[in-house]
Amino acid sequence: MAGIAGVVALTTVQAAAEQAFVTLNGDLKKEAWWVIAEFHPFTTEVRGIPANQIRKSWCKATEFRKDLIPKELLFESGADAMKGAGMSFAIEGRFDGAATRQIAVVGVFQECAGPKGRFMLVLDQPDGGKPKIRFLDAVRTNRQFGALSKDKGGKPVLWECMECDGYSVLKWDRKKNRFGWEPQAEEL
């Protein structure tokens, strides 16, 4: 970590304007990278779905992927910190109990008017078909980092950081026939 402590901007995949996907606004010696990270979306679709079809006000949306984030941040002492914490940027399952495979992904969006934030999508992944949005959670925030895991029952868990208690569990409500957030109560 000491080799990157003085880095202000990290470059991995660059947008047309040559802006890095991840920039750091702070000191890595004092704060975790995901706390001081600012993400700059540069794609106009997620899994083949145009950003403005996810939300009309969005011009850009970029799914988080490990290849977009500098290895120096994700790998501490040679170990994959996310994998060690049981987290990922995308998870698969049958989150509503249906036969169709689903994928949950997290990323960053930017509205055409400028504000940015974090999103989580749950998409149906039909064999040979186009993904269909089943659930969207989007929040404007200056701290856009997000990661996913599964709880003991296989439900998606959205994390706001890698080493904190800031998480939400997504649950399928059979009676309402839709996804919703569980009240935080039990330990994962």
Q: How far is CA 171 from CA 72, 95, 156, 164, in A?
A: 34, 8, 8, 21
Contact 4, 21 (CB under 8 A): no
Please report the pLDDT score of residue 171 as a whole number.
96
Please report the pLDDT score of residue 123 as a whole number.
97
Please report the pLDDT score of residue 185 as a whole number.
59
Nearest residue to 56 via CA among 111, 117, 119, 121: 111
Nearest residue to 170 via CA among 145, 146, 139, 149: 149
Please report the pLDDT score of residue 81 as a whole number.
87
Kindly provide the residue ranges of all beta strands, DSSP E only, lying in 141-185, ordered along the sequence.
147-150, 156-159, 167-173, 178-181
CA dihedral 133, 105, 139, 99 (to 10 degrees): 40
Give the DSSP H or E segment for 72: helix 71-74
- CB crowding 43-80: b at 16 or more within 10 Å, else e: eeebbebebeebeeebbbbbbbebebbbeebbeeeeee
Please report the pLDDT score of residue 126 as a whole number.
82
Please report the pLDDT score of residue 136 as a whole number.
98
pLDDT along the chain (188 residues), means of 10: 40 52 92 93 96 98 96 86 92 92 97 97 88 96 94 95 88 94 70
The residue written with tokens 């994959």 in the block is: 80
Please report the pLDDT score of residue 16 as a whole number.
43
Extract the tokens encoding 128: 């040979």
